[in-house]
């Protein structure tokens, strides 16, 4: 399995606090069957320091040396979506993509979809980037109107779902939205979004099993194996079924 969203870099954001925590997180993930972890520290969220990319690479190399070849670690980041960040990314092309590739992980604000973000997404794609929206099921607007994310997805973006959302760890609303988005082919990868070896722990095997029960073996494998591997390698996603609008199914959220 390939985990596209993790906070394993120690002392960088609200993820791993110590080097020992970082190593433990990687070891737990490897024991659960994860082959690759992408370190995605927060950037431009107004809360955490935007550390130089050289420091991020240095910390990742330290962790990789400690865990050896039990798991492969690559660098990305979780960009907080603002129009200014999109403009900067398009102008500079700075190395914020996953594994220095075209895929960029974007986090929407928790309570809304920013006005005009469809234009920003179009601009990103026109500059060769492939945006992946992090955990859309945790966004309040999408929880209340899941069809709003369908409208964005039609612009060509992808979505990554947090494994914990499937099990209600971010609340019933996020769990319901996670299931609706998944069943309507609006999710393209499931990741752990791990922050600690004790809370929001790494590992994807339980989420894989839950997704397999919901959408079948082929689709579930694409979410934790095939699509994430393509992201890391900078290749087109191999499994992108046609999305459907959740509008007509909103009243049935809790029947899944």
Residue 116 structure tokens: 């005009």
Tell me the CATH number at 237: 3.20.20.140
- Burial profile 4-29: b = 16 or more Cβ within 10 angstroms, e = fewer: bbbbbbbebbebbeeeebbbbbbbbb
Strand boundaries in 71-155, DSSP class E: 72-75, 78-80, 103-107, 130-134
This prediction's pTM: 0.93
Across the beta sheet with 78-80, the strand order is: 42-43, 78-80, 103-107, 130-134, 158-162, 189-191
- Averaged pLDDT for residues 224-232: 98
Q: What is the pLDDT of residue 254?
A: 42
CB 70 within 8 A of CB 26: yes
* CA distances for 137 relative to 71, 142, 230, angstroms: 28, 7, 23
Q: What is the pLDDT of residues 156-202, one digit of tens each?
A: 899 999 999 999 999 999 999 999 999 999 999 999 999 999 988 99
pLDDT band with cut points at 50, 70 and 90 for residue 91:
confident
Q: What is the pLDDT of residue 95?
A: 64
Place of tokens 């369908």: 150
**pLDDT at residue 249 greater than cutoff 50:** no
Q: Which of 27-31, 50-54, 224-228 has the lowest mean pLDDT?
A: 50-54
Q: What is the pLDDT of residues 95-125, one digit of tens each?
A: 689 999 999 999 999 989 988 888 888 888 8
- Averaged pLDDT for residues 48-61: 90
Interhelix angle 19-31/53-67, nearest 10 degrees: 60
Q: How many domains does the structure of the chain reveal? A: 1
- Per the structure, the complete domain to which residue 89 belongs is given by 2-255
Q: Are strands 36-39 and 158-162 parallel, antiparallel or unpaired?
A: unpaired
pLDDT band with cut points at 50, 70 and 90 for residue 237:
very high
What span, in angstroms and rounded, lies between the C-alpha atoms of 11 and 25?
14
């Amino acid at each position: 399995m390939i985990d596209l969203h993790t906070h394993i870099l120690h002392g960088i954001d609200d993820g791993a606090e110590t080097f020992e925590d970082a190593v433990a997180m990687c070891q737990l993930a490897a024991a659960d069957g994860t082959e690759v972890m992408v370190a995605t520290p927060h950037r431009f969220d107004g809360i955490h320091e935007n550390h130089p990319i050289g420091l991020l690479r240095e910390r990742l190399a330290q962790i990789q040396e400690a865990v050896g070849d039990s798991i492969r670690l690559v660098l990305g980041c979780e960009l907080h979506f603002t129009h200014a960040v999109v403009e900067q990314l398009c102008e500079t092309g700075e190395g914020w993509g996953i594994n220095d590739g075209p895929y960029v992980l974007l986090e929407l604000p928790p309570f809304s979809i920013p006005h005009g973000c469809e234009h920003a997404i179009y601009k990103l794609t026109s500059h060769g980037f492939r945006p992946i929206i992090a955990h859309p099921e945790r966004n309040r607007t999408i929880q209340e109107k899941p069809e709003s994310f369908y409208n964005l997805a039609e612009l060509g973006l992808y979505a990554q779902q947090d494994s914990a959302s499937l099990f209600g760890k971010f609340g019933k609303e996020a769990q319901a939205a996670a299931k609706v988005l998944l069943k309507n082919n609006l999710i393209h990868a499931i990741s752990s979004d791990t922050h600690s070896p004790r809370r929001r722990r790494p590992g994807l095997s339980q989420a894989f099993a839950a997704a397999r029960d919901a959408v079948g073996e082929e689709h579930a494998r694409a979410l934790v194996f095939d699509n994430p591997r393509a992201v890391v390698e900078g290749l087109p996603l191999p499994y992108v079924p046609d999305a459907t609008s959740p509008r007509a199914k909103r009243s049935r959220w809790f029947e899944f």
